[in-house]
Chains A and B, each alone.
Chain A
Amino acid sequence: MALTQRENFEIMIKGGKPEFAPLLYELYKACMLATNNTDQPWKGGVDPFGINWVATVEGVIPEPGKILFDDIADWKKYVRFPDIDSLGIEQMAQMELADFTDEKRKEQPVAVFNVCGLFERMAALMGFENTLCALIEDPDSCNEFFEAMADYKIACLNRYIDIYKPDVIIYFDDLATARGMFMSPKTYRELIKPHHKRIVEAVTSRGVIFSQHTCGKCEDILEDYVEMGVRIWNSAQVCNDLDGILTKYHGRLLVEGGWDTSGPASYMGAPVEAIIEETKRCAEQYGKKGNFILFPVIMNEKGNAFMTGDERIPALMKTWHEVNKL
């Protein structure tokens, strides 16, 4: 490779033909500690809103059976927004960027994570079923809540941008299941999108690329994402028509994912042969499109290999580099 990760990525973002299709493990300087303090503790514990997160192999989830309130009309009684200055964002950035020199920054884009988006936050506070019913039963209160939560998100993201000076913000909000969206696209557009859009614009207006992480079958709202200014869709899973999406949105959206997260290569203890096969499939099926970034999901007993590392990753990387993608 003659180009650095940064140079290659910048070509892709502009809709050009890159030299290689990136592998997520190599592409970014990924910064994940600030959101640990502002949103959701990665290893479990109580978040700034009082929700206790339980660590599982696949990540943290709100403690089952524990909610702060069950009626969205009561949200103001229970939700207290923390003072941004008290959340230790600066300290987290110092830790994560301590060894990241200016020279390294020239070669590698910086991506800062921000997890637990508007919908997920509501679900964490009042449970999934109450949240989904609230969207229909009390849209006005939902709207008030989303507006206030978006204000908090924007304040946090502006602080991230001030301190980390990132190239990319990756904002997480899982709005879909494996078979389709949690709510109708109409409900998303009426209730969540206006506030989601403010968050996107707060980031892009500062010259930072917005990456939207949404797992599941969310292809029905990808046009909405692009229209708002989202430039990368993360965790693009195979339940979506990825071939069609890569073609349709070429030049407007980078697709980060591709891995069959429900298939044999993502089973616990999957043999390296299965991982090599899945890597080759992704390279051959998606790599040549020019707007694809591979995001593998390899599980081991400690969790997701992206966070924990894994002895099978070298084989994956070797295969990815060897397959002629472009």
Chain B
Amino acid sequence: MAKIEEVKAMVEAGKAKLVPGLVQEALDEGSAAKDILQAMVDSMGVVGDKFSTGEIFVPEMLMAAKAMAKGVDILKPLMAGDTSTSLGTCIIGTVAGDLHDIGKNLVSMMIESAGFTMVDLGVDVPHEKWAEAIKENQNVTLVACSGLLTTTMPALKDAVKTVKDSGLTGFKVLVGGAPVTQQFANEIGADGFAPDAGSAAVKAVELVKA
């Protein structure tokens, strides 16, 4: 099944214009939609690793994510209703008082590429909104809180506490952002920490499958 390998290569290379055609060719060749999806997820795993090691940079990662998104558009009609490949819903946002979104958006793309359905609460998310979003969405398996500023680290702590004290279950809490460390994540009761978008996707899968 050579086409599926080409799909993988072109997602990694960020060739958004080529991927939809190649996905269709892979389908025509007889590859199952979920196998093609998994191939693209695997590609994004490689992209994430390369980003984490500094081999590629944000533009290359964004282009790869775009390429995958274009490929997923072709597969969606064929996979409607099939949740077997989904890792669940991830609620993501930047905490209260913080308006930065680039890091959160990158993490969101990578976590989505890993197989999650994303619900993005945006920036400056009030504490109470996290629990509301968990209640309002189905099959929430992950809550990802982002904080870029040292001044909003208390808000990150409060967001995690609000979620943990809500009584809601079935999900893990992942935190990240420039001033966040593993130690801080442990202190505030988060289930996981990731230093960058690439490793965030890996950690997300690890937390949910544990």
A residues adjacent to B (C-beta < 8 A): 54, 56-58, 61, 64-65, 128-129, 132-133, 135-137, 177-184, 187, 261-263, 266-268, 299
Contacts and interface: CB of A to CB of B under 8 A. Distances in A.
Contacts of B71: none
A182 B101 CA distance: 14
A183 B58 contact: yes
Given A54-B99, A180-B54, A267-B153, A133 B62 contact: yes
20 contacts: A54-B99, A57-B151, A58-B149, A64-B99, A64-B101, A132-B59, A132-B62, A133-B62, A136-B59, A177-B58, A182-B57, A182-B59, A183-B58, A184-B56, A184-B59, A262-B150, A262-B178, A267-B150, A268-B150, A268-B154
A137 B103 CA distance: 21
Given A61-B99, A61-B100, A262-B178, A132 B58 contact: yes
Nearest to A264: B150
In the complex, the 6 A-B pairs of residues with the closest C-beta atoms, listed nearest first? A262-B179, A178-B178, A132-B59, A128-B102, A268-B151, A184-B57
Nearest to B179: A262
A227 B41 CA distance: 42
A116 to B, nearest CB: 16
Contact of B150 (A54, A135, A137, A266): A266
A180 B51 CA distance: 10
Classify chain B's interface size. 20 to 34
A301 B33 CA distance: 53
B57 A181 contact: yes
Nearest to B97: A57
Interface of B: 14, 54, 56-60, 62-63, 66, 97, 99-103, 105, 122-123, 149-151, 153-154, 178-179, 195-196
Contacts of B196: 179
Contact of A129 (B56, B100, B105, B153): B105
A180 B100 contact: no
Contact of A299 (B57, B103, B151): B151
A129 B107 CA distance: 12
B14, B59, B105, B178 pick with most chain A CB within 10 angstroms? B59
Contacts of A57: 97, 149, 151
Contact of A136 (B60, B97, B151, B195): B60
Given A57-B151, A261-B150, A299-B150, A133 B59 contact: yes
Contacts of B14: 136
Contacts, number: 68
Contacts of B56: 184
A88 B85 CA distance: 60
Nearest to A127: B102
Contacts of B54: 180
Nearest to B195: A179
Nearest to B14: A136
Contacts of B149: 57-58
B151 A58 contact: yes
B63, B102, B153 pick with most chain A CB within 10 angstroms? B102
A57 B151 CA distance: 8
Given A56-B99, A136-B14, A177-B178, A187 B123 contact: no
Contacts of B58: 132, 177, 182-183
B157 to A, nearest CB: 12
Contacts of A187: 57, 59
B93 to A, nearest CB: 12
Contacts of A263: 150
Given A262-B150, A267-B153, A268-B154, A183 B179 contact: no
Contacts of B60: 136, 184
A61, A132, A263, A267 pick with most chain B CB within 10 angstroms? A132
Contacts of B59: 132-133, 135-136, 182-184, 187
